[in-house]
Structure 1
């Protein structure tokens, strides 16, 4: 079952945790591509110094401030696309970065890391602002899942964000082989 808009219109950290185990589905390129979400990062709003929204509304961040349940796709280092899902009410500027997928079908290539995930799923800037309730790109609940064991850890690559860099806002499925990087600290349970 495709996730409804109200799933995304909630607290970003809650949405991030609950996205784990859901399926990201990409259609429209021949064979359907499907992967299980195993790692995410929460960017909780303009007050979060690691978030793009901390700089306010710009051409790049406009989608983050829009309605929940849309894709926010940006380019980093001029070569890697990253897929986020917009969360919380319009005007808040929050999103969840999808960091890693466990390939299920139609995926050729590594999906350990946000840039590799987008490459394997065929996601680029043309998806920025896409409504995730459509048929091209969406997230669905496969149903019948056991409650996953979730690890909470600091986000990756946000050292510039001061105290926000160490907040445990990265979540992943414990012992999943497709996670991009495991936390080496003892804080590991979430």
Structure 2
């Protein structure tokens, strides 16, 4: 029996709200203000990727992997570092809190082998299999953070949120068609 063992963090390369394609590709999408939208597929759908009924977010790495995406970064290129839809700090915080929540729910440890950006996944592949993925390599509110440091920075945030979630300091609540994390006093 397969288990969920990984979480891959993405940006959608789109606008600030998930489109139908995003909701099909990722298990959860996070909008500009941190609202979390469930995708078409449940994380468990990625236990078996042979039936075609799964979230196809990480070519060659979908089995056992939960895909989370921040809806942003349309038109971004690594050289110019410009977009009309930069990742917001609120969005990244919500993405990290969600990753922490899911890592707790599914017993996924926080390490670079189990919680990673799409860029980091791509860099670990043989050179002839790489797809040139650049998500997530840049945070506009931390412009001096090196490309190879973004994943580590996100994992540190995820680990921090994981501890707070274990202490019941954050709670995931449903609000209509989306979810939000709230701070529990």
TM-score normalised per structure 2: 0.28
TM-score normalised per structure 1: 0.28
